[in-house]
Amino acid sequence: MDLTLKVWRQKNRNAQGALEKYNVSGISENASFLEMLDVMNEQLINEGTEPVAFDHDCREGICGSCSLYINGEAHGPAKNVTTCQLHMRMFKDGETIYIEPWRSAAMPVIKDLIVDRSSFDRIQQSGGFVSVNTSGNTQDANALPIPKMNADKAFDAAACIGCGACVATCKNSSAMLFVAAKVSQFAYLPQGQVEAKQRVKNMVQQMDNEGFGNCTNTGACEIECPKSISIEYIAKMNREFLAATFSTSE
Ligand code: SF4
Ligand code: FES
């Protein structure tokens, strides 16, 4: 495949960025999108041009670091896959592909296609954990019976990889789907109950502190989420938040 790439280049977070045009040829339709970018970068290095900075780690859809806006869609045109799992057969020979970073004030561009997603880390640190006493004997894994429906819901929420596509897609730059998934994965389990009230209050507060927008129920986040996290979890988080806010015990 021969392709024309329009790639966002930006020296640093304060510089003004712009789209630059690069041509790549001989790309296999079986190559992944990131492998195609590797070929482009090799070409740029051979020409003495600085390669394009982009984020990636696992390249198998689990770390959430490959975050690109491709032809106006978070993670590109394929459904339920991350950028690293997107293959070039989704594009046509001779096509022009626009490649941009996430756009959100709470996730500023650091360089080229890489954005600063440490706001997600701070939200996680504010409550996305359970405190476990590790002294004494190890408890049997099945000591706490959990209804199958709750286990499934917790598992589905835990599939969130923190990629930020929900934020990038939302017209309000809302992080509600991400935070809802992180709150819900514990809210459905007995292990998450001890810190439940403080967790949801702290994580929602931190989300607001980071400057993410509010949810207005457009549902765009759910459509572009590579892990199919449902907006039903936002309703769950709102219920948890209201219960925690109006609770008389804390
Ligand atoms: S909810 Fe989906 S889109 Fe948002 S961070 Fe998690 S995996 Fe990514
Ligand atoms: S590189 Fe890890 S999810 Fe894509």
pLDDT of residue 142: 81
Which helix (H) or strand (E) segment holds residue 73: the answer is strand 73-74
Distance CA(179)–CA(184), nearest Å, equals 8
Residue closest by Cα to atom 3 of ligand 2: 61
pLDDT digits (tens, 9 = 90+) for 203-228: 999 999 999 999 999 999 999 999 99
Where do the domains of the chain lie? 3-110, 118-130+145-245
DSSP state of 57: S
Tell me which fold the domain 3-110 belongs to: Ubiquitin-like (UB roll) (3.10.20)
170: nearest Cα among 69, 19, 66: 69
Residue 75 Cα to ligand 2 midpoint, Å, equals: 10
Please identify, by atom number, the ligand 1 atom nearest to the C-alpha of residue 161.
Answer: 7
Q: Say if pTM beats, i.e. exceeds, 0.85.
A: yes
65: nearest Cα among 23, 22, 16, 110: 110
Q: CATH 3.40.50.300: does it fit domain 118-130+145-245? A: no
7: nearest Cα among 44, 60, 61: 44
User: Is the pLDDT assigned to residue 130 strictly greater than 80?
Assistant: yes
Residue 85 Cα to ligand 2 midpoint, Å, equals: 8
Nearest ligand to the C-alpha atom of residue 85: 2
pLDDT of residue 140: 82
Nearest ligand to the C-alpha atom of residue 177: 1
pLDDT of residue 62: 96
User: Is the pLDDT assigned to residue 128 strictly greater than 70?
Assistant: yes
- Our measurement of the distance from residue 218's CA atom to the centroid of its chain's CA atoms, rounded to an integer in Å, reads 18
pLDDT digits (tens, 9 = 90+) for 9-27: 999 999 999 999 999 999 9
DSSP state of 15: S
Distance CA(210)–CA(224), nearest Å, equals 22
pLDDT digits (tens, 9 = 90+) for 132-146: 877 788 778 788 889
| Residue 249's pLDDT band (cuts 50, 70, 90) | low
Residue closest by Cα to atom 8 of ligand 1: 163
- Give the residue-averaged pLDDT of 98-120: 97
